[in-house]
Structure 1
């Protein structure tokens, strides 16, 4: 049975994985997808694979080139040694790893996709193939001896010593504590709890995990094993700390049953081999990189003129920009395409509204952002350079350009589109003044998860209408952590802050007695709230002067503007016709349907 006939009998992700292996070992990356293919059409405006590749390289090219250079070094080293890793070997390794975690191959690949965003093809190419190649390259250095297996078995299953420990940072203090411990060895645990600076062991009277052989410092292990039960050790330096041990008891060896030994030995051998591979591979990588002649062309203007269309040269072998673009699309294409679709929608909307985003608009938005985050100079003007440095760090000019393109430009475009749609009314100012400066209702609250319990608590609170008793009820019954732990105390409620039902009921209440308690208020999501008013705060500001008006107007305008911008973007998306061939999805207005390969063409 061939791979292709086998595909029909396998779950989708496994079949895709096998297909990916065939592509991996039969086609160069750049040849897998023609650059003139359409990846999306937004309201009849196309986005080509070449355009998407350029944008993906702009955002992720540097990191992808670095990883691909390493892969090329491995490929070249394998070629020099005549090593070939087949698709079957990769497949077998994936199956082995899945079994190691107790999963089917399908479940393991699905887990990688959901939790690490690794497609089966990416996993085979970027993880499994390099791992197998490195193993093959360092195979001569990764021999596991019988002595190593014996030591590992002894470390895992051999005898051990259970100890208590005191750890301090001063030798003088350690000597004093040892004298006390020797005088009263039966109080070692209490001494450790009181004096040891290792909080983890101190909290359990100095107890530490059993000490075994071949796990670290051989002299320290020998010292522990030489102790008799109850005996106190000498003061021993461990790193920059000083420790004292007391042996609690010696634990006998506990090896696996005879029938399980072969499997356990194999697992230990594999673990030792894996560790040796990691060490040997690290050394090999360092050697390959030190001896390699690598020229990174991408992002270097002078080198790009010298080597057009080339991203890097590795020991004379050219890595093309087209290959890097294909890799970037495979890894990041979906996210980059979403951004480009949104950019198309905004560009189309600006054109329709006969509005433009000018460089002056971009500069002004950056200045506004700098001021809003407190980056101003001595004269109160925007300190743009310090703001950009704080936000982007030591990033290069490309990072700054991407920030302007991906964050600032869309913001300015949306502000242009909502010009004239946002105003601040007198009602807005009135509500804003009450919300920000008006009195707030100080309440005790009890949040319940079902109506029956809420009725029970309400009846008890009604029968004993005091703040103290209500707080005790909240502590006992509330399912909301803050009100439960604080005996009903929650932050004071202000008007017009998005909790209309609670605010309306709270501001009807009067402190003290029965009139201080609300009814049972349903807030949805299976939550019922009972409140008790304990008073009102004094207004922060009582005079609505020009300074207050100006601050409120600016704050309210910016909030309403943000909401209008979000609504506009949602509206553009919902009303657009978007054919996303990369995701095989078409949107007609708000309706989404799957696109077959035939429809795509």
Structure 2
């Protein structure tokens, strides 16, 4: 089970006030300068988590992925150094300001948007996206400036004359020839011909209509064919890849003429778009060349090379990237999440120690086997296929067996250990579980309303006209719940002990055809109409007792695990200096 994630307020205890200030100042420096000191980044119930512990954990989980990014930036940096090129902090800041302005946002709002919606911090955005982009732009400067011809073509593609067309497309040449002859003989029937025969479903559904064709926007053969047509005329047959198609011109759309005062902004927009497109192409070629010509040795993850080059993560054209530099990058990008995991692990370790319990290897093995069964990895012998399950877990290329065990299996086992003594399954639990899983269910129609006044109006109409057909029309018209609205009130049958006591009690109290009162639950108002009860297909509790007990045990265990972790988290004294330092740094930047 992955660690739960919560936002925990930072609490600075009085007794730790002095050490808090010292550690906080140290962490601010380490976050800003990524130094190698082994300061404290968090304290959990008086037990510290050091910067080295955080760095090691971050590298273990993300080192392989982050190293590729670091190597790429190193290659770009080396290429810039060879040509005497530099990208200053001011240039990076100006580019961010310019991009923010393009979206009509202030820079702080734009950076906040990136952080909240794409999980890209301002520092990472500047370091990993803007700087490489500007560096590549300088490296390929002679290749990316738009020519006048490129500008003219892009302008025509956006504002030039267009041809509205219909299209028929099929894969079979013989069929295409036959349809083409029919279209030429009867141009007025082109739309219906396309609807009945074209294999491009999107355009076929609207009689073959496709977006207007402009010059310099796609395949030149289609553009030339379209612009050669008069209204209603049918083009020759054209082969594009393995498809055969032909067009019919519907009408010409005149070129647009933007206001003169908007032309400077339009020119800048078009030039930026062309430049960006060319940069992407040139950057791809440049990267391919840099990587092809480079001598790169990835030491990290290679036991033999790590023994030969201790403390080194990679060697790029004889320049070394150290493990500490890699750790710094990993912490910058993933430190917050990794530290949260380390805090959670510390809480669980402390909880196990206090309870006098330990996680053993057989416990780990059993949890892995249980996960394999849960996800359907079962061998022909009916036993869990551990090898196949582990292969699936590690198939992303980043998760190793050790990380899977440490981050998912061990926490789950630890929480099970902490709650195992409190899980009791009573006879009442079994009885209710049997009723919920195998007992009769109430079949109902339902209307869900968002306000009481409408609910009262609908209920009165349903009472005055008690037919199911009328109730269904009311549901279709008034219900705010999509399932009941689209199915004329029909919803899945209601079972007992499902966690909806008000609705259950009302539904099972109704006789077939009866109307409920207005049921107020949360912010909704519900009206039910009974259609009767289902017939249970299992009536012998003893036949399914074992299965029920296992299911109830798992359900109670999961609930207890979540509750126990919440208790450990909320009752703990946690001082997270890493997050505090980042907040201070962000405030200072603003």
Task: Give the TM-score taking structure 2 as reference length.
Answer: 0.91
Please name the residue that 1:24 is paired with. none
How many residue pairs get aligned? The number is 557
Please name the residue that 2:251 is paired with. 249
Following superposition of structure 1 onto structure 2, how do residues 82-161 of structure 1 map, counting pairs within 5 Å?
Answer: 82-161=84-163
Following superposition of structure 1 onto structure 2, how do residues 177-196 of structure 1 map, counting pairs within 5 Å?
Answer: 177-196=179-198
- The DSSP-based 3-state class of the residue aligned with 1:531 is strand
Give the distance between the partners of 1:450 and 1:81, measured in 2 at CA.
69
Give the distance between the partners of 1:258 and 1:235, measured in 2 at CA.
41
Deviation at 1:458, TM superposition (A): 1.5
Please name the residue that 1:425 is paired with. 426
Give the distance between the partners of 2:270 and 2:351, measured in 1 at CA.
63
Please name the residue that 1:549 is paired with. 545
Q: Give the one of 540, 562, 565 matched to 2:561.
A: 565
- Does the 8 Å contact 1:35/1:48 carry over to 2? no
- Alignment CA distance shift 1:144-1:411 (3 Å): same
Following superposition of structure 1 onto structure 2, how do residues 437-456 of structure 1 map, counting pairs within 5 Å?
Answer: 437-456=438-457
Deviation at 1:465, TM superposition (A): 2.2
- The DSSP-based 3-state class of the residue aligned with 1:66 is helix
Question: How big is each residue's C-alpha offset from its partner over 1:92-138, in whole Å with a ceiling of 9 and x where there is no partner?
Answer: 11111111111111211111111112222111111111111000001
Give the distance between the partners of 1:306 and 1:395, measured in 2 at CA.
25
Question: How big is each residue's C-alpha offset from its partner over 1:413-455, in whole Å with a ceiling of 9 and x where there is no partner?
Answer: 1111112101100110110111111111111111111111111
- Does the 8 Å contact 1:446/1:474 carry over to 2? yes
- Does the 8 Å contact 1:59/1:402 carry over to 2? yes
Please name the residue that 1:530 is paired with. 527
- The DSSP-based 3-state class of the residue aligned with 2:562 is helix
Please name the residue that 2:511 is paired with. 510
Please name the residue that 1:588 is paired with. none
Deviation at 1:196, TM superposition (A): 1.3
Question: How big is each residue's C-alpha offset from its partner over 1:334-380, in whole Å with a ceiling of 9 and x where there is no partner?
Answer: 11111110100111111111111111110111112222333333332
Give the distance between the partners of 1:556 and 1:84, measured in 2 at CA.
64
Give the distance between the partners of 1:212 and 1:595, measured in 2 at CA.
52
- Does the 8 Å contact 2:442/2:495 carry over to 1? yes
Question: How big is each residue's C-alpha offset from its partner over 1:460-516, in whole Å with a ceiling of 9 and x where there is no partner?
Answer: 22222232222222222211111111111111111101010111111111113xxx2
Please name the residue that 1:579 is paired with. 575
- Does the 8 Å contact 2:30/2:36 carry over to 1? no
Q: Give the one of 387, 390, 393 matched to 2:389.
A: 387
Give the distance between the partners of 1:251 and 1:118, measured in 2 at CA.
43
Following superposition of structure 1 onto structure 2, how do residues 147-296 of structure 1 map, counting pairs within 5 Å?
Answer: 147-296=149-298
- Report the more deviating stretch, 140-149 or 178-187: 140-149
Give the distance between the partners of 1:151 and 1:531, measured in 2 at CA.
63
- Alignment CA distance shift 1:541-1:251 (3 Å): closer
- Does the 8 Å contact 1:113/1:119 carry over to 2? yes
Following superposition of structure 1 onto structure 2, how do residues 45-64 of structure 1 map, counting pairs within 5 Å?
Answer: 45-64=47-66
Give the distance between the partners of 2:414 and 2:461, measured in 1 at CA.
57
Give the distance between the partners of 1:141 and 1:471, measured in 2 at CA.
66
Please name the residue that 1:491 is paired with. 492
Higher relative contact order (CA 8 A, sep 6+): 2
Task: Give the TM-score taking structure 1 as reference length.
Answer: 0.89
Give the distance between the partners of 1:558 and 1:112, measured in 2 at CA.
40
Please name the residue that 1:309 is paired with. 311
Which runs of 5 or more residues in structure 1 are unaligned?
Answer: 1-26, 586-593
- The DSSP-based 3-state class of the residue aligned with 2:209 is coil
Correspondence 1:330 to 2:332 = yes
- The DSSP-based 3-state class of the residue aligned with 2:422 is coil
- Alignment CA distance shift 1:544-1:158 (3 Å): closer
Please name the residue that 1:5 is paired with. none
Runs of 4+ in 1 over 4 A off after TM superposition: 27-31, 594-597
Deviation at 1:145, TM superposition (A): 1.9
- Does the 8 Å contact 1:343/1:410 carry over to 2? yes
- Report the more deviating stretch, 47-56 or 365-374: 365-374
- Does the 8 Å contact 2:30/2:37 carry over to 1? no
Which runs of 5 or more residues in structure 2 are unaligned?
Answer: 1-28
- Report the more deviating stretch, 474-483 or 148-157: 148-157
